[in-house]
Chains A and B, each alone.
Chain A
């Protein structure tokens, strides 16, 4: 059965990637044991490390779910990064300009939902271009990333710039627009709960509802689906809206739960790493959870690798890219299996 294979293949890929990482460290003249120890310590070693990993897991999980869903439907959404930024932008506009004085009970849901809607809108542009003009969503989503980044740059240098005008960043969110912390943690925001519930919800939607069946049918064979009375265009629009919405939600949670401000370099490429997350998860909503945890741990651990083991930043980036490449390519489900 493919059940156990879909678990073992990603695990094997992670194993291969970690061994390759060790070998490469050796090759580069670093002490691989010390570096890997730092990596593990930095990701799980103490409470701070664990909280860091959880915080990074949140956007990877949300964007990764959206990417997995879109890929399932045969829609190549490479625009997670831009959709995330647009979500953050909308959330910041709402929190610092449109409704800064609204009570928390109203403002917080508006900020979070507004972010998700903006992300969905960004995905929707790609959908409209595909359905209306036949523009490949691979191109349009990639290019819309740049538009989103520049929009954020414009916003923090212009209309959303902090009142003092000193730095290219938004004002600090009013407290009513900031997500509360999970009890017992120092920094983990409550949005994580939402993110953790979503894989199961999306699993149910994808495998236990008619809508999910339609979506998967289009991904497997669009023309056969059309013959069965499903309209692939409608599924494409729907899945890009959901996918963009999830990324937008991730962006909103980042600004309202982690930074409390909008910056230009808010994301460390979450939208791109999320593609690797989805592939490592073999596009399964439940698999996205451990896959996001793995990449989050890699990312927090690599910071510690610089600080503790003095591995240069460029080497760390090289290693991260290598792990993404190996784990994604070895875990990729074959279309024929």
Chain B
């Protein structure tokens, strides 16, 4: 009984202290669907949040939200506390952003990927297709048998779109190229990814790309086991995962994207729209494995660089699925 009283006193004291006045800093929040120590999607968003704090002196808050209801709670609470900007890290945050956005017009809600646009709600769209197009071009140019493959996790439009661009790039280099696409039905199944990759290689494929999360380890395992096979990394720089095989990675600089949006919101220049980030913004990049560049003929590398320049200038529109 005595410790219950003490506890009560403790709690009252705590409530007292939590009501301190907030300073007038730029406040930026982030909700992630998973742990920020995943060395991937969520961690990069948190790094972005830290960068926003560093560069803009913002006050930050973060929460892991695993269910739609937690998402709504997180959005609503941060908005009610006067946060100017809240990121929801994934398409699954759109509904809640639109809903809470209506109630809190003074807060800007940004979802990383998605398509919902409202006066204070916008998605960031990463045009990874620009990079996979160029890699497809390179892949088709160097493949000995003109056989390419793409291994995906789950067949969602954003992933299918990166493969579509990969194939279009390959065809632009060599109209006879064959690109086989397979999905393993999971983001995390390492052995399924390995098997799908080995199956493609057994059919004569010698250049591969993927779009997998944790399961990517299986993809690189298979590539490491197969002689004479080249591969591309996706989403992050994965050149070190199989340094003898990975020629380049199509990377997304998520921290940079978050910082660019935060700058807009802080300066008051933010306009609601689908915020597209590609090669031009430096958010999407092609990172080459310097150790393997010798495998790429000089003229192919030159053409690839020229493609990058044309995409940056807007002279070349890379095909992407509408979603």
Contacts and interface: CB of A to CB of B under 8 A. Distances in A.
B62 A303 contact: no
Interface string B64-104: 11111110111011101000000000011001000000010
Interface stretch (B2-10, B167-175, B223-231): B2-10
Interface string A260-273: 11010111100000
A189 to B, nearest CB: 11
A45 B92 CA distance: 27
Nearest to B115: A166
A276 interface: no
A41 interface: yes
Contacts of B65: 303
A34 B35 contact: no
Interface stretch (A74-82, A98-106, A237-245, A304-312): A304-312
B10 A165 contact: no
Nearest to B83: A307
Nearest to A313: B64
A168 B156 contact: yes
A329 interface: no
A46 B10 CA distance: 20
Given A19-B7, A165-B157, A268 B18 contact: no
B5 to A, nearest CB: 10
Nearest to B65: A303
A300 B72 CA distance: 11
A259 B14 contact: no
A167 interface: yes
Nearest to B91: A167
A15 B156 contact: no
A40 interface: yes
B181 interface: no
A173 to B, nearest CB: 12
Interface stretch (A48-56, A61-69, A127-135, A222-230): A48-56
A157 B11 contact: no
A34 B92 contact: no
B17 A34 contact: yes
Given A304-B77, A306-B63, A310-B61, A40 B11 contact: yes
Nearest to A16: B3
A contacts with B: majority SS: helix
Contact of A261 (B35, B95, B155, B157): B95
A202 interface: no
Most buried by B among A18, A167, A168: A167
A257 to B, nearest CB: 10
Contacts of A321: none
B29 interface: yes
Most buried by B among A34, A42, A186, A303: A303
A83 interface: no
B36 interface: yes
A46 B15 CA distance: 12
Nearest to B6: A19
B213 to A, nearest CB: 14
B13 interface: yes
Contacts of A34: 14, 17-18
A45 B15 CA distance: 9
Interface string A9-38: 001000100110010000000000111111
Contacts of B18: 34, 37-38, 41, 308
Contacts of A314: 35, 37
B237 to A, nearest CB: 26
Given A15-B4, A258-B68, A314-B35, A300 B14 contact: no
A36 B323 contact: no
Interface in B145-199: 154-157
A176 B14 CA distance: 44
Contacts of A37: 11, 13-18
Contacts of A310: 61-62
Nearest to B73: A52
27 contacts: A15-B3, A22-B10, A33-B10, A34-B14, A37-B11, A37-B18, A48-B77, A49-B77, A55-B69, A56-B69, A157-B154, A157-B155, A166-B157, A167-B91, A172-B95, A259-B68, A261-B68, A263-B67, A263-B68, A268-B66, A268-B69, A303-B74, A306-B63, A307-B61, A308-B61, A313-B35, A313-B36
Given A33-B13, A164-B323, A308-B61, 6 more contacts: A36-B10, A38-B18, A40-B14, A168-B154, A268-B66, A313-B64
